[in-house]
Structure 1
Amino acid sequence: MSILLEVVVDAADEQRFREFVSARSPALMRLGFLLTGGDQHAAEDLVQTALAKLVTRWRKVEAPEAYVKQIMYRQQVSRWRASGRRGEVVQASPPELADRDLHHQSELRLVLRSALSRLTARQRAMLVLRYFEDLPEQEIARVLGCSVGTVRSTVHRSLARLRVIAPELAQVMEVTR
């Protein structure tokens, strides 16, 4: 990161940038993890790329977190577009959720992570923006550069796909309807 900070001219800007990175990195990593379908290395690359782009415009950006998130969303969609349609990812089956004990929430998280990793990057991005970031459809359309109708149909198809991939999430997903 020290090479990138040479772009930031004075010590005060450098300190503010370091504080931002220190404070927001965990949240940005969680977002990257969700956007990449649980791929830790891809999430790290996504966050690092976004922060590298941010540091070059640090003095001009009024809302750095929003700027970094937008870079992350667009970068992930670009990766998806560049890679073309990928085949289904082979995953181990999630454990049965028959007994509803204290581990239920952890198991649901694992099932959700596995199911999200089997969606396309675009589907994942839209679901993350809609339900994790709680953005309205118009904002998602603006961030991803598509129409509101595309957002609606993609979110609808993505939720339907999640219901097929992970039927054990059905009760949780009923809340989103």
Structure 2
Amino acid sequence: MKTATDTSGFEQHNHSHCINKALQEADLICQQKSLRLTPLRRQVLGYIWQSHKPLGAYTLLEMLAVSRAPGNNSRVAPPTVYRALEFLLEHGLIHRIASLNAYIGCCSPSDKHQSHFFICRHCNSTVELATPAISAAIAQSAKSTGFMVEDECVEIVGLCPQCQKINPDAAGDIE
């Protein structure tokens, strides 16, 4: 999982390694839990890992439609994609980015953890963070106010290193 000081998730790279690793981990997790990773669930997970940009359900629907074999006019219905996404979410293989109503692959699906993300406001590239201090601060604040946290997802919006290079004037906007 990425740490707060690791910006490698924002660098351009071949995503085939990310896809293969995610699918191997998904296969292993499903095998250990006696779950079924159907071809559609595999395909949706693969599409989600094609880039480090969150994808919405309707974008996934379009991608699935394009990937259909020539002559196969059957379309995947939205509920089918949502069921696949629910399965992947429930078993920690993906995360939901609430502010974008979109989904991104989980970097460490075998480890139970909270979701924290850096999201580039320009290109939508997203990096998952492993920063226990964020969860600790939330837990402490909740304890001091008597609030019971049921779920947490911290989304931090800004500019990735590449977008800062393209628009250096915008990099100083948030301080």
**TM-score, structure 2 length as denominator?**
0.31
The structure with the largest helix share of the pair is: 1
The structure with the largest strand share of the pair is: 2
Relative contact order (C-alpha < 8 Å, sep 6+): which is higher?
Answer: 2
